[in-house]
Structure 1
Amino acid sequence: MSETERVPVRRSLSTKIVGVLVGFLAVALVMIGTTLYLSWQLQGSAAAINETGKLRMASYRLSLELARAARGERAEAADEARRQLDALGTAIWQLRKGDPQRPLVLPPAQPIHAQFSRVSAYWNDAVRPAALSVLAAAPGSQSMQALVHCEALIDGFVRDADALVRAIETDSERRMFWLRASQMALLAMAVASTVTLVYVLFGLIVAPVMRIHQGIMRMGDEDFSVRVAVDSDDEFGQVAHGFNQMAARLQSLYGDLEGLVRSKTAALEAQNGELALLYDSAAFLQQRLPVDAMCEGFLARLMEYFKADGGSVRVLDPNRGNLHMVAHKGIPARLVEAEHCLKVGECLCGEAVVKKVALVHDLRQAPAGPTLECRRAGFQTVSLFHIFAHEQNLGFFNLHFKCARQFDERERALLESMGAQLGVAIENERYFVREREMAISEERNLVARGLHDSIAQGLNFLNLQVQMMEQSLAAKRLDEACDIVPALRAGVEESYQDVRELLLNFRSRLHEGNLLASLQMTINKFRQQAGIVVELQSDGEDGAPFPGEQQLQILFIVQEALSNVRKHAGASHVLVRLHDRHDFVLSIEDDGAGFDASAVLERKDSQVGLHIMRERAARIDATLDIQSAPGAGTRVTLRLPMEMRHAA
């Protein structure tokens, strides 16, 4: 018999180990279950002893209250005696029923249950009726006679309860002995099972592992002729057999190891090149670039990696079905001129767009017919891969080769991944442009409303005053014309102040991203322009920093609030409070004339500045509260809860 021949000796290792463990587990579960059952009964017996002991105390209290009731010492003694009667009845009922949850249970011994039956019957048949007769009799000699009889019965009831307690205690001592015996047996079984398991595991696991370990050590010393004896058909026998097969395989492959290393090295280099291309392209496409520059850089990297002779990138115009060439390299000018704009469905590339499939076309095998421009330019292979973003076809890119070129599955997957990268970058750039256009449009709308609220209304006032002056001069009422001149001067001054204020607001910039410093600069400008005392109070800036756009919106809200103070409040003092911790709270409070806030805010066609402030607050997920009353000043509060703020 050879050394490596498999000899069926025993059952599988898992069956043997599981059998031993299941046997030990079954015995342990029985012992543990017995211990738990005895512990549960001991706890129930202890609770029963406690409840039975309460019967004695309650009986003494009942006797005391009955004596007081019989002598008429306390008016409430009879009620207390009835409560004691009910309590004793409830305790006896609980002992009879038991409570597995506490646990509360009488031991199952027949003498204990017989004694409890005597206690229960003695209570129901003798003690309780006697106590009720004492309570029913009027205080005097008759009630005292009933009391003496009842106390004698109560003494007998207490003796029976004591006998019940002693019986339960005796049973508990016996069960405690069995509990300790089972625990000692469990301890002995644990020691015996440990010794047995050590012996079994050493023979079944440790010895085979040591043999396999010795074989591995010899194999580590490049002794591939090592073999391990297979003396069983269990799992370790199978492992030993597999080890012998592995040793034989390594012995046969060791001579060709250098060839395997070279092939693996080449595969790793190819994978590293793919990863480098993907990383370089991803880093390039993350930059903010125009689409044509983005496509040119993308195409240059692809052509360098695949050693292509030419290439192009086309973007799809879905509205008109055109494919525009936005980037090209290595393509003859005639080919660029002829195919700078293709229609979907034209040529091989247009057909691939319709079918939404990648294409690697060997131009040497093109069917007879009109000569393709690519083949006329000297290219033999043209590849086409689509540019996708969010399952939307944005165009495709070509790689042209003057020699025949095939792409394996790995290269095709790489080119498809590159197309997805470019598609996401193009789509992100378009999103950025649209978002910027929308932001500009929204800001223009706010500026237009601001102009309407300030300069347009001022100019309308000046226009009316000029018309009135013309009418007065035409009627030669010079005194009326002279009266209009101060109003014109005031209107011009007001419009000038509005224009100057708008210019200052439009030029507002954040001071190195510091909102507090920007607020201080805005307040200083307002103080110099309006001549109003403005105080800034801040409890620090412990909250997370805001993005730049949100900080600008907060700054614009403050500017609009201060502008309203200058125009309408007639205030002499303004207080700006900043609370920036978890929640962001900014308030602007003045001591001016005030107004009816509810009435003004209900008029949608007036006070455009207030509505603009509310719109700006909504853009940063904040709330704007305006509190004012005639003669009581105005307070504007901007509040941004912690759960709505976004860190920069």
Structure 2
Amino acid sequence: MRPSLVDTPRRHSISVRIVTVSLLALLIALMMIGGTLWLSWQLEGGAAAINDAGSLRMRAYRLALILQTQPVDQISAFHEIQLLEKTLTSLQKGDPARPLVLPSELNIRKQYALVSNQWSESLRELATSAAKGNSISGVAFRGRVDQYVSEISTLVSAIEHDNARKTDWLRLSQGVLIAIAIVGTVAMIYLLYLWIIRPVLSLQAGIVDLASQRFDVRLPVETADEFGALAHGFNTMAEELQTVYRDLEQRVLDKTKQLAVQNSELSVLYEMAGFLSLPNSVEAQCKGFLQRIMVRFNADGGSLRVLNPENQQLHLVVSEGLPQSVLQSAQCRQAHDCLCGETTVTGIAVLRDLRNTPRHKLLPCNEAGFMCIASFKISSPQAALGSFALHFRDEHICAAAEMKLLETLGQQLGTALENTRLMTHERLLAVSEERNLVAQGLHDSLAQSLNFLNLQIQMLEKTLVRTPHDEVEKIIPLLRAGVQESYNDVRELLANFRTRFENLDIRQVLKNAVKRLHEQTGIQISFEYTGNGPALPEDQKLQILFILQEALSNVRKHAKTDSAHVMVRNDDDFYMEIMDCGRGFDINPTPASGEAVRRIGLHIMQERANQISAQLTIASTYGEGTRVALLLRSSSRQAA
């Protein structure tokens, strides 16, 4: 893992160290400045104390002078006494606003207590008595005032000495603060050089070396901070650049191979898209698709199956290189029992090594000798259509790009099959519209004419009742029968032309045709349908329906019977048989009989069978009935 600034321990971070040193310097500076401010405040308070203490001497002498004057000025005397006491109280309590602070030294406090006690214990009483006119107290006060002033002077000297000492401390603190500022600045410059400037210069020199293509340059990793991480990252980058330049030729070759693989994939996609865009049948598209991918991926076998959504069965469309045991396996037909079905249902491509398959879960591919199978989904944007599988007799590994390519090819095929279905459906719609137009023409022309002829024959019959004519009476029944038969033919054609079978399976389509003939003619027709084979495409379904309609029409017109049987087996092969017990006919008439000319319907059925590569068999015997059989082999059966 590459180092980054995030990997640097927080305690080794340059930012943490710089902040720590800065906070430490700030703390020391604040302490020193606070100390000097405190000393200044103490000095100012001490000076005020010296001033007030000095004023005590003045007030003591003034009070003595007032008490000496006769008569005593009591007001001035008591005023001076109050001022002296007020000054003593101020010295004791202090005044932060002035500021006034009596130093806390023990000798100063003792001296202040001595001065205060002398006043309160003796001098205040003498001064008060003298102010009231007692001359003896005045003489005593004057005798002791000099000693009291001496004590006050001692207090003032002590305060002055304390202020002088604090002034020395203030000067020393300022000197120390200057020294700390000088040493701190030098130390900060050195630390910045050591932590930042030198690593930056080293990194700059390394970048210059890299620019000169000296990829063997490495920076020393001396610290665990951000620059240590940068140096480590620089060394990693230099090593990678050295590796890149050393292996550049090999990388170019690898890239060329990769581009060649991508070009090959694009070529395959382009070639497959071109092939699938050709107007081929579904079987031809599937066969060409399977052959091309087998050649492209060196497969030994391949199969392509489509899903019948009605019964969830897979039906084989084309195969290459697979034995009959695999092609005819019932397990391979169930969507949930084999790998091909698993891919179709889940949509997930499967690449499986068959050698590790447990014995009780062996697949037909195992028994056929294949070691590996790869299965991919065939899908269109609308739905899953089926899957195709590649079989390998040797071990085979598909890269992720090949798997993705095969999945894309499956989507291409699914889209092409869907387009083919849409084109077929569109063509059938055009045929249906054309047949509808023909039906309208028949209804508007021939059907109306036949109806008119029928009315004219009825009128002719009524006329013959009034005026008999033997020859005409013999012709009228023949005319009536001919017109009625022609009218029935036209009605049948109109019903057949208007047949719609979109979104219906082949069973429902054939059953509807049988039901329609029964409703039109009253002939009892049994219908038997077995099997669950793959779905038929629309064009094959259409031709089978036309053959059934023509055969049933022949039963109505020629068999002269009141019952028939239709049997259908829809397995891998599609088989349909129409049988009646009518009068039958000669299957091989002589040219002189003229029967061949009247059997154009049989030729049309044969042509329709040929269009879908089916086998049509017609057998008939006079007095025993007729059998029409249609066989559509699985090899000719197209995928729906």
TM-score normalised by L of structure 2? 0.36
TM-score normalised by L of structure 1? 0.36
Select the structure of larger CA radius of gyration. 2
